[in-house]
Structure 1
Amino acid sequence: MNQSDCFQIGKEIPWEDAGPGVRRQVYGYGDQLMLVKARFEKGAEGVPHQHPHAQATYVAEGSFEMTIGNEKRIVTAGDGFYVAPQVWHGCVCLEAGMLVDAFSPCRVDFL
């Protein structure tokens, strides 16, 4: 079983490069759930992709043009979105910000 420590202290979690203008921190996880923070610079892209994981995301800061399947919306701080497994999705950061993602099951590829 993959599992994180019980506590994650933000200043102790390394930021990883996740593409041009995007960095991420992996927080708590177990086989069935994972929490990840992603910081985006203005203009950075979450390149369109799909994965077998369900994803629920909270927009903690900034503004993003989010595409999920065939739907495109602007989301800002305080908003959220859900991506079902295998659905294509991606974003463009309009104003520097941060997304907080929950994945089920765990994104083992992030470990």
Structure 2
Amino acid sequence: MIQESDNFQIENEIRWENVGEGISRQILAYNEDIMMVKVKFETGVESTLHAHPHTQVTYVVSGIFEFTTNGETRIVRSGDGVYMKSGVLHGCKCIEAGLLIDTFSPIREDFIK
């Protein structure tokens, strides 16, 4: 069965999911090959270092984050991006509340319920 989103994603028509203390996400466009997700972080929240088989690209819409990927740690801000290779440990700490756009390839089937 092919999994894919509607053609248009209207922000106020898509529910936000609480995925942990201070972190929520909104699933946007996807098919079996790619997925785009908005993620909101509150100040001080940290995601644990983790790895998954998906390639991930993150765009910082707002806020300030300390990202670690592949053993390198950098501060990123609005307009910056982060590339995370498949299978590489990565995570972030939110220094100033913000919004990220995460894109995964292939789809994160664990995000679809």
Say yes or no: TM over 0.5: yes
Cα distance in 2 between the residues matched to 1:93 and 1:108: 25
Q: How does 1:1-111 map to 2 (within 5 A)?
A: 1-111=2-112
Cα distance in 2 between the residues matched to 1:19 and 1:41: 11
Give the CA RMSD over aligned residues: 0.6
Partner deviation per Cα, 1:32-91 (whole Å, 9 max, x = no partner)? 000000000000112111000000110000000000021000000000010000000000
Identity %: 51
Cα distance in 1 between the residues matched to 2:79 and 2:18: 25
Cα distance in 2 between the residues matched to 1:21 and 1:45: 9
Letter in 2 for 1:42: T
Cα distance in 1 between the residues matched to 2:57 and 2:95: 20
Q: How far has the Cα of 1:109 moved from its partner? A: 0.3
Gaps of 5+ in 1: none
Cα distance in 2 between the residues matched to 1:91 and 1:78: 16
Cα distance in 2 between the residues matched to 1:89 and 1:18: 17
More strand by share: 1
Letter in 1 for 2:88: V
Look up the SS of the partner of 1:73 in the other structure. Answer: strand
Q: How far has the Cα of 1:102 moved from its partner? A: 0.6
Gaps of 5+ in 2: none
Letter in 1 for 2:81: G
Cα distance in 2 between the residues matched to 1:101 and 1:69: 17
Cα distance in 2 between the residues matched to 1:108 and 1:55: 14
